[in-house]
Amino acid sequence: MGSGLIGVIIDWEAITMEKQAILKMMEDLCNAKGISGFEDEVVAEVRRFGEGLGQFQEDSLRDLIIYRAENKGGRPMVQLDAHTDEVGFMVQAIRPNGTLQFINIGNWVSSNIPAHRVWVQNSLGEYVPGIVASKPPHFMSDAEKKAPLDVNSLVIDIGASSLKEAVEDYHIRIGAPVVPDVTFEYVDQHDLIISKALDNRLGCASIIATLDALKGEELAVDIAGAFDCQEEVGARGAVVTANTIKPDIAIVFEGCPADDTFSPEYAIQTALKKGPMLRHIDARMITNPRFQRYALDLCEELSIPVQTAVRSGGSTNGASIHLSNQGVPTIVIGIPVRYAHTHYGISSYADWENGVKLAVAILKRLNADVIASF
């Protein structure tokens, strides 16, 4: 077993079979390449791991819905929600020297972008390796060294030396999606997950695990698991799925930014290994306080560790869902992710597991009267 965070090989024999299967699902979901609008690989993985859990419905945006096999109709509908897309980039132009000019897809901090490997999808559907490059310090003036990093000064270098070579030999076109080149790792010694796209492939895994845990259970509600596209560019897919499902209540799973490595101790609200985080508010949603209280009381009753947060920024698919139809009581079960919206995130398996436990507990107790009380 590895002793650090880099180059760790998963010791599958030391992990229970159930956990092995879950980690394998997480690995395949996280390794799938899928920036906003190009979520096809992720949707294919969701279909594979969701086989047998219910009926699939997919729309032209690449939103995917799984209607639970045990649904009966005529009962309150619960939307379980997670987005499939990840932050990345898109090729905007090919320069005469063969380097690729790009734009951000999703919210990035410019200083986190350079000197990382990426994959660029070419016109043949193949992924070409590249490096996000900047002007070497040897050639920079003092003014350039002191200036804030401008993302427009960065390029992706795939090794081509001319526009002609990039187009004809590498088959690169403008509009090509670009994803971080990062491979999923599980550090069993510390029960940590390190990967790209934990925001929000952990949420996708949560829906599948929740539906699987409820197989054969007699519930008082119907459930639809929505895997939404394009959350990172404005929670667009959730608008469509909410209008399709027409939920009476919703639980959103999200890989949410952890704050425990930079906030003063008194202000930490989203720490690793302290349970899922339930936000009271963010920039686009005030969480239904009655549903929120119900979930928090349930955590206390069942000894599920939980954190709460008051956020002035950020948002989730809850922003779209809670305003849909005639209004939908919505909570967000957040799995803390250190360094979200960078190439590498770090999360705790236990936090993810406790988020699923909470969702399962809620769903087993929901009925028309409980939902009406929210």
| Domain 12-86+183-372 class, CATH top level | alpha beta
- 56 pLDDT higher than 50: yes
- 11 pLDDT higher than 70: no
- What is the per-residue pLDDT for 334? 98
- What is the per-residue pLDDT for 2? 35
What CA–CA distances, in Å, run from 329 to 2, 76, 287, 313, 316?
44, 12, 8, 20, 14
pTM for the full model? Answer: 0.93
* In the block, residue with structure tokens 């919703």: 250
Cα–Cα distance between 307 and 302 in angstroms, integer? 14
Domain boundaries along the sequence of the chain? 12-86+183-372, 88-180
- Mean pLDDT (whole number) for 172-188: 98
Active-site residue identified among 27, 45, 231, 254: 231
- What is the per-residue pLDDT for 98? 98
Q: What is the pLDDT of residues 236-258, one digit of tens each?
A: 999 999 999 999 999 999 999 99
Cα–Cα distance between 279 and 233 in angstroms, integer? 21
What CA–CA distances, in Å, run from 260 to 87, 109, 271, 337, 359?
22, 18, 5, 10, 24
- What is the per-residue pLDDT for 146? 86
Q: Is residue 237 within 8 Å of residue 315, measured between CB atoms?
A: no
Mean per-residue pLDDT of the chain: 94
- What is the per-residue pLDDT for 144? 83
pLDDT category, 3, cuts 50, 70, 90? very low
- Mean pLDDT (whole number) for 5-28: 67
CATH number of 88-180: 2.40.30.40
- What is the per-residue pLDDT for 135? 81
Query: Can 231 be counted among the known catalytic residues?
Result: yes
